[in-house]
């Protein structure tokens, strides 16, 4: 099971270079399992025992299985994750021609570790909006081939490079696509028009706009002398999206179960399709149109917010509290913060620990050092919007927000097992 899950995650990451592609890949899996698409603009007819999903902005998804009994009876078992990852996004007018090279201006999305982006074989993917036969359409594209690179400056010209230097995102990050003749004018939108034709057979009249991200073409892989690790891009947080999908697809229960994977977590979640928007709340309200039933159900429900945790790095062990250093391949981590950067409380943590014990899944705890700041997740945001009890958990990883992150190859199976038990549980605290 472990090898099969890791292979499935590697394939999922390859198919999901952007939040748009991640959501499309999730849709493919859910449709193959018999889930029906619901359109938010239509009237819904949701049936007991039915399986459904809703997307918004092509980059966020809520998938759910209606229980055989009303959610008012036993609440809703929810798992939350996010589809976006830090990256470099192409600016609206990106063409740069310097020293005979064609480059693209980029904007840093989220809190990216920038140094690992240098000297990588980069490709480009995302959503393109265009006009065709007088109508406005959108389509996902993925160049797949390595079409760009951000070369480092040689050590001979930057003798202090290994002492650390501040990377200037405006000047030092524009990737190089090609060499151009002095009188040749680079046209990025023409390049996108050609890609639409090559990839989809679409003859666009004009490209109107786009949301495109660079990504590393090196695929994810199981690595290490004994295959102990899983290395790849966007483990934060497509790893949790994949685990939540696997758990929802592989469990049956009388209770209602839901997976929500939203965009824009890395930039604060404040969008129509982010956790700080109304998407999840509006969908649950449509399932429970009575305001009293809605509140009663939410108070019987529980959310597991699944996002990666900081594993204790052997070279930087002093960055952790000595008693709270999660280890790779030692199971999921319960994340705690007294200042509510995580939404965990003793009851929700206790219930998650109970699930792990019952399933013989190892479990760990993480608290940031008292003299360091703490990141956050969709957990507190969703808890405050819905009023739902929440536990923040995640799998330990290294190099979070790098272009290539590292997780334990045993931990995905641990997470899928405990999330499956959660979805199948008959009683919540």
* Ramachandran assignment for 133, one of left (phi > 0), alpha (psi -120 to 50 degrees), beta (any other): left
Residue 401 in marked binding region = yes
Asked if 361 and 323 touch (Cβ cutoff 8 Å), the reply is: no
**How many Cα atoms occupy the beta-carbon half-sphere of 42 within 13 Å?**
7
Q: How far apart are the first and last CA of the chain?
A: 30
| Separation between Cα atoms, residue 103 and residue 115, nearest integer Å | 18
The two tokens of residue 348 are 């929700």
Q: Which of 214, 212, 146 lies closest to 403, judged by CA?
A: 214
CA nearest to 319, candidates 376, 371, 394: 371
Q: How many whole angstroms separate alpha carbon 249 and alpha carbon 227? A: 27
Maximum CA pair distance of the chain? 71
- 3-state class (DSSP) for residue 355: helix
| 206, two tokens | 């004009």
Q: Which residues contact 342 (CB under 8 A, 6 or more apart)?
A: 305, 335, 336, 374, 376, 377, 379, 380, 392
Question: Is 313 part of any known ligand binding site?
Answer: no
Helices H / strands E in the chain, number of each = 11, 20
What are the start-end ranges of the E strands in 110-165? 122-132, 135-142
Return the residue matching tokens 């219930």: 351
- Distance between CA atoms of residues 407 and 77, nearest Å: 26
E runs forming strands in 164-301: 176-179, 206-216, 221-223, 229-232, 256-262
Query: The dihedral of CA 198, 203, 205, 209: what is its sign?
Result: negative
119 touches 150 (CB < 8 A): yes
CA angle 351, 355, 360 (to 5 degrees): 145
Q: Is 29 annotated as a binding residue?
A: no
* 25, 16 Cβ separation under 8 angstroms: yes
DSSP string, 33-87: TTPEE--TTS-----TT-EEEEEETTTEEEEEE--SS-HHHH-EEEEEEE----E
Residues flagged as binding site for Zn(2+)? 82, 156, 401
Residues flagged as binding site? 82, 156, 401
């Amino acid at each position: 099971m472990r090898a099969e899950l890791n292979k499935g995650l590697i394939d999922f990451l390859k198919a999901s270079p952007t939040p748009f592609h991640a959501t499309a890949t999730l849709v493919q899996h859910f449709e193959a399992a018999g889930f029906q698409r619901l359109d938010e603009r239509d009237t819904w007819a949701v049936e007991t025992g039915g399986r459904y999903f809703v997307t918004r902005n092509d980059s966020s998804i809520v998938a759910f299985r209606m229980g055989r009994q009303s959610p008012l009876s036993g609440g809703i078992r929810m798992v939350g994750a996010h589809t976006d990852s830090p990256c470099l996004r192409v600016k609206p007018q990106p063409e740069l021609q310097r020293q005979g090279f064609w480059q693209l201006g980029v904007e840093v999305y989220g809190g990216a570790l920038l140094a690992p982006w240098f000297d990588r074989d980069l490709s480009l993917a995302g959503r393109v909006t265009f006009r065709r036969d007088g109508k406005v359409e959108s389509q996902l594209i993925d160049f797949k081939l390595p079409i760009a690179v951000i070369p480092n400056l040689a050590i001979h010209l930057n003798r202090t490079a290994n002492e650390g230097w501040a990377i200037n995102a405006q000047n030092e990050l524009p990737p190089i696509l090609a060499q151009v003749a002095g009188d040749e004018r680079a046209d990025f939108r023409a390049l996108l028009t050609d890609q639409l034709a090559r990839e989809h057979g679409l003859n666009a009249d004009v490209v109107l706009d786009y949301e495109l991200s660079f990504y590393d073409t090196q695929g994810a892989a199981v690595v290490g002398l004994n295959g102990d690790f899983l290395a790849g891009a966007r483990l934060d947080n497509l790893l949790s999206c994949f685990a939540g999908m696997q758990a929802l697809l592989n469990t049956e229960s009388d209770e209602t179960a839901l997976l929500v994977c939203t965009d824009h977590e890395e930039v604060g979640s404040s969008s129509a399709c982010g956790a700080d928007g109304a998407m999840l709340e509006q969908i649950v309200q449509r399932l429970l149109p009575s305001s009293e039933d809605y509140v009663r159900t939410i108070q019987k429900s529980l959310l597991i917010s699944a996002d990666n945790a900081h594993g204790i790095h052997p070279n930087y062990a002093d960055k952790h509290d000595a008693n709270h250093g999660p280890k790779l391949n030692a199971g999921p981590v319960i994340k705690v913060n007294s200042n509510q950067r995580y939404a965990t409380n003793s009851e929700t943590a206790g219930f998650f620990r109970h699930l792990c014990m019952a399933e013989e899944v190892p479990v760990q705890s993480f608290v940031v050092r008292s003299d360091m700041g703490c990141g956050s997740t969709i957990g507190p945001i969703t808890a405050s919007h819905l009023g739902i009890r929440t536990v923040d958990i995640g799998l330990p990883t290294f190099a979070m927000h790098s272009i290539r992150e590292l997780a334990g190859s045993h931990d995905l199976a641990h997470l899928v097992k405990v999330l499956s038990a959660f979805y199948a549980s008959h009683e919540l605290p």
